[in-house]
Amino acid sequence: MASRAAGRLRVAPRALARRFLRMQRRERPAAPRRILVAHHLLLGDTLMLTPLLAKLRMLHRDAEIVMTVQRTIAPLYAGRPYGVEAIAYEPRDSRTLDALLDGGGFDLAIVPGDNRYAWLAAAAGARWIVAHDGDRPGFKSWPVDERKPFPRLPTAWGDAVAQLADGPPPQAYRPTDWPAPHWAPFHAPAGDYCVIHVGAGTPLRRWSPERWLAVAEELARRGMEVVWSAGRGEESEVGAADSLGRFRSYAGKLDLPQLWHLVKGARLFLSGDTGVAHLGRVVGTPAVTLYGPGSPRLFGPGEFWRDSPCRTVATDPFPCRDQRVIFKREIEWVRRCQRTLAECPAPRCLHSIGITDVTRAAQELLELPR
């Protein structure tokens, strides 16, 4: 496995020299011309940054906006939604730093989530860095010029991140705001179909296979073609749900742009609370999302996605969804669960969701006008 050391050896000295050794005067830019959004978030968290991108574009119509993303996610941004240029960045591959460190600097940098990327922003020549307060340990926030408090009232995380930029909230999302990425052709379903994504990064976010099969059978009885989806290495999740192969499976066969088009063409999209769930909101497909350990309030549609045709299904509140930490910040109103399998052998919160709960939400969306 590649090491982060090479990248740190390039970032830390540059950041120290530009932020501390030169002691240059720093002040908030009134009209930034170049803006950096610096992070290394997973797919779902990255897609939830969309309200921030929309707000930055609304406030700074002519600015150049650059955002770092994981290499596998970058193709989704090829169409430059909100005019944003996505740069692939991998902490374990120091070569991905070249475009940032040699790019001529930035007037403003926003650091969502983990404040360690404030050091990356400083190394890239950002003259004013904004992030949420309260990250731990404190040295991660040393380069930050403006530390903003996390919202005191319950707020979707995407909306909270957008508040890092001063000004009114952005307009509600429209699927036309995000140009579709280029995709390699594949054999997609024809006619009305629904996608059920059964994969997730942890077993604690996976609904039971027999319940997914029951939902699939009910949708098939209503005349829908059902197809399965899961990521590479998650093919067994589909096999557990549909051992007889009754429904077509795309598990492990599609890259993200292809999955975009599969979900975009669907009449309905169902999944657990995983990164791919947020793809349904981006493409505008009616979507049902099941929440177990995750917070439907924190990671649900919020204000920015308020017009999205989606339903969240959860038992909320749930007694052991009681942890209050997000990105190492303890927030009074947050209620989520980040326990491991050693601490929680089975997700009672997710298993409390019944088949009828999901089919009812699906039927509500199918009845919406096209």
In this predicted model, what pLDDT tens digit does every residue of 128-178 receive, in sequence order?
Answer: 999 999 999 999 999 999 999 999 999 999 999 999 999 999 999 999 999
Count: domains in the chain: 2
Give domain status of residue 275, yes or no: yes
In a domain, 151, yes or no: yes
pTM over 0.85: yes
Q: Looking at the structure, do residues 163 and 214 belong to the same domain, yes or no?
A: no
User: Do 238 and 139 share a domain, yes or no?
Assistant: no
Pair (240, 299) in one structural domain = yes
- Name the pairing type of β-strands 146-148 and 84-88: unpaired
Own/partner contacts of 163-169, CB < 8 Å, gap of 24 or more, are 164/52, 164/110, 164/112, 164/130, 164/131, 164/132, 165/52, 165/55, 165/56, 165/59, 165/110, 165/130, 166/59, 167/55, 167/58, 167/59, 169/51, 169/55, 169/303, 169/304
Q: pLDDT tens for residues 29-74?
A: 999 999 999 999 999 999 999 999 999 999 999 999 999 999 999 9
**Residue 365's pLDDT band (cuts 50, 70, 90):** very high
Segment 183-210 mean pLDDT: 95
Distance from C-alpha of 264 to C-alpha of 286, rounded to nearest angstrom: 9
36 by Cβ neighbours in 10 Å (0-12 / 13-18 / 19+) ranks as buried
| Alpha carbons 128 and 38: distance in angstroms, whole number | 13
By C-alpha distance, which of 321, 269, 270 is closest to 298? Answer: 321
Please give the mean pLDDT across all residues of the chain. Answer: 95
Q: What is the predicted pLDDT for the residue at 165?
A: 97
Whether 366 shows a pLDDT value over 60: the answer reads yes
Q: Report phi then psi at 36, rounded to 5.
A: -115, 135
DSSP state of 274: S
Q: How far is CA 129 from CA 63, 142, 145, 330, in A?
A: 16, 10, 5, 22
- How many angstroms from the chain centroid is the CA of residue 119? 22
Domain end point (choices 171, 202, 217): 171
Give 58's contacts (C-beta < 8 A, 6+ positions apart). Answer: 167, 170, 171
Task: Please tell me the predicted confidence (pLDDT) of residue 231.
Answer: 95
- Residue 369 pLDDT: 81
- Residue 323 has what DSSP assignment? B
Let me know whether 61 and 99 are in one domain: yes
Statement to judge: residues 125 and 213 lie in one domain: no
DSSP for residue 130: E
How confident is the model over 240-284, as pLDDT tens digits? 999 999 999 999 999 999 999 999 999 999 999 999 999 999 999
Q: What is the pLDDT of residue 368?
A: 82
For 61, other C-beta atoms within 10 Å of its C-beta total: 8
Residue 182 inside a domain? The answer is no
Q: What is the tens place of the pLDDT at every residue in 105-133?
A: 999 999 999 999 999 999 999 999 999 99
**Arithmetic mean of pLDDT, 303-320:** 96
The answer on 15 and 148 residing in a single domain is yes
Amino acid 159: pLDDT? 98
* Collapsed DSSP state (helix, strand, coil) of residue 77: helix
- Residue 238 is assigned to a structural domain of this protein: yes
Shared domain check, 91 and 141: yes
Residue from 202, 241, 226 nearest 350 by CA: 202
Collapse the DSSP code of 122 into the 3-class scheme (helix H, G, I; strand E, B; otherwise coil) and give the result.
helix
Confidence of residue 103 (pLDDT cuts 50, 70, 90): confident
State which amino acid sits at residue 301. Answer: P
**What is the extent of the structural domain holding 124?**
5-171
> Is 202 contained in some domain?
yes
pLDDT of residue 206: 95
- Does a structural domain hold residue 181? no
- Residue 177 in any domain: the answer is no
The percent of residues above 90 in pLDDT, for the chain, comes to 93
**Longest CA pairwise span in the chain (Å):** 69
Please check whether residues 136 and 205 belong to one and the same domain.
Answer: no
Q: Are 360 and 222 in contact (CB under 8 A)?
A: no
Asked if residue 123 and residue 266 are part of one domain, the reply reads no
| The predicted structure's pLDDT at residue 18 | 85
Domain co-membership, 218 together with 289: yes
Return the H-helix or E-strand segment holding 297.
helix 296-299
- H or E segment to which residue 330 belongs: strand 329-330
Q: What is the pLDDT of residue 25?
A: 65
Give residue 250's pLDDT.
Answer: 98
- Residue 124 is part of a domain; what is its CATH number? 3.40.50.2000
φ/ψ region of 357 (left if φ > 0, alpha if ψ in -120 to 50, else beta) reads alpha
Distance CA 211, CA 196 (A): 12
What are 26-31's contacts with CB under 8 Å, separation 24+? 26/127, 26/128, 26/145, 27/128, 28/128, 28/145, 28/146, 29/107, 29/108, 29/127, 29/128, 31/60
359 and 234 in a single domain? The answer is: yes
- Which of 137, 171, 205 is the endpoint of a domain? 171
Using the 3D structure, point to which of 141, 171, 201 is the last residue of a domain.
171
- Residue 187 domain-assigned? no
| 206 and 70 part of one domain | no
